[in-house]
Amino acid sequence: MKKTWCVACVLYVALLMTFTAIAQETTPVQTPSEGIPTEILPIVITGGVVGSLHGAKDLNQEIEYFNHDARVVAQALDNLYAINMSLSGRVPDLTMSLGYYGSLLYKPFPSIGAGVEAEFLQIGTQGAVDISTPEVGVQFTLDVTIPTFGVCGVLAFDPSDLFDTGSWIASAQAGFGFYRTNAHSEKRIHLTGIEHFSLRDEVNVSVTESAWGSKASLSVGYQLNPNIILKVVLASRQLVFKNAGINFNDLADTVDLDLSGVCVAASIELRF
């Protein structure tokens, strides 16, 4: 019995070695370039420059009032000094801004992606109004800055991954997120030939405000290669900071900083 068991073991080992040799001969040898493929995560990184048009209704009304008030001050100085004061200059409305943005998307499906987008908007206006004669003068300067930073969660739809559009890429994106601003308004008064001036006061105030905002966009891009795309983006942003205390005409009153508007961006997209 023991002899039979030993013979069986020898035959088993011989058969195992035979099948191993056959398997090695029939299996192609993998070179480093033919190794097991590693799955690459479908990651999309986008960054660019964005120009925005803003409504800013409340703030622009205060700017218009500031320009009008300068004429009231000029008339008061005419009456006070009995001379004809000339008035020049004005503060422009807040209508346009320039900013930057970047996004990181993960695409679990060919046409659908989700991720996060961050943007920085440098919004503001500045100007000066001169009320003067060769002997006396008053200069009002106004500087309003509303630097704003936001982070949004975004969803993207890219139908060009479903259809053959050649080198052209089209996509749509929607986002919702949190924005924060450190708004600042400064009104200065410079006097020439006048020692006492009590018609108006200087203002220097800063406030920090936060709000929820949303953004929807459509983009068209040209694919330079499978990994690099140049894009033009048209977007609509909804963003209002309620009751911000930077009213340079009346510090006891507030304004709504309405930064909603239309945006146009030029960007570059990298696909991995």
The domain 39-271 having CATH identifier 2.40.160.20: the answer here is yes
Which residue type does 89 have? G
Tell me, yes or no, if the pTM score tops 0.85.
Answer: no
Question: Residue-wise pLDDT tens for the chain (272 aa)?
Answer: 444 344 344 434 343 343 344 334 433 444 444 443 444 468 999 999 999 999 899 999 999 999 999 999 999 988 888 788 899 999 999 999 999 999 999 988 878 999 999 999 999 999 999 999 888 899 999 999 999 999 999 999 988 767 777 889 899 999 999 999 999 999 999 999 888 888 999 999 999 999 999 999 999 999 999 899 999 999 999 999 999 999 999 999 999 999 999 999 999 999 88
Residues 263, 48: Cα–Cα separation, whole Å: 12
**For residue 181, which of 95, 239, 112, 254 has the smallest C-alpha distance?**
239
The domain limits of the chain are 39-271
What angle (nearest 5°) sits at the alpha carbon of residue 158, between those of residues 153 and 159? Answer: 150
